[in-house]
Amino acid sequence: MRGREDGVEAFLPLKPAWFHILLALADGPRHGYAIRVEVEARTEGRVRLWPATLYGSIRDLAEAGLIEEGEADPVDDARRRIYRLTGAGARVLAAEAARMQALVDAARATRALEGA
C-alpha cells in the first residue's frame, strides 16, 4: 500500500461517480459531455452519469482539488469548460485502484480458503 502522503487516504473509498470521472480524465482533458460518453462507453452502458450527478461530482472534485478547469478545446463549442486531472487527482485515482486490487485479492484468497 502506498499513498498515505498528502491526505490521499482521506478520499478513499471513492464514490463510484468520482472514480469513473477521474478515470475518464486519466486519458486527457475532456468537457462534461465527453466525460459522460467516455464513462458510458467504458462501462458498456452500465454507468450513466446524468447531468445533475455529473456536474455535482465535477464541482465536488474541483473543490477537493482532484480536478481543475483547463483552457477550452478550440475545436469544440467555446462555451464548454474543459476539465483535467490534477496531480492529487492522479494519486487518489491510483490509490483507489490499488485499494480495489487489494480487495479483489482478498476476495480471491477467501474463495480459495473456502474451496478447501
Question: Where does this chain bind another protein (CB under 8 A)?
Answer: 7, 9-15, 18, 31-33, 36, 50-56, 58-61, 63-65, 77, 79-81, 103, 106-107, 110-111, 113-115
Counting Cα atoms < 13 Å in the Cβ hemisphere of 35 gives 29
Which residues are bridge partners to 69 per DSSP?
83
Cβ nearer to another protein, comparing 26 with 100: 100
Is residue 40 within 8 A of residue 55, CB to CB? The reply is: no
Q: How far is the CB of 40 from another protein (least distance, A)?
A: 11
Q: How far is the CB of 113 from another protein (least distance, A)?
A: 7
Other residues' Cβ atoms within 10 Å of the Cβ of residue 75 = 6
Cβ nearer to another protein, comparing 41 with 55: 55
Comparing CA positions, the residue from 13, 24, 15 lying closest to residue 83 is 24
Q: What angle do CA 27, 63, 21 make, to 5 degrees?
A: 30
Q: How far is the CB of 66 from another protein (least distance, A)?
A: 9
Q: How far is the CB of 72 from another protein (least distance, A)?
A: 12
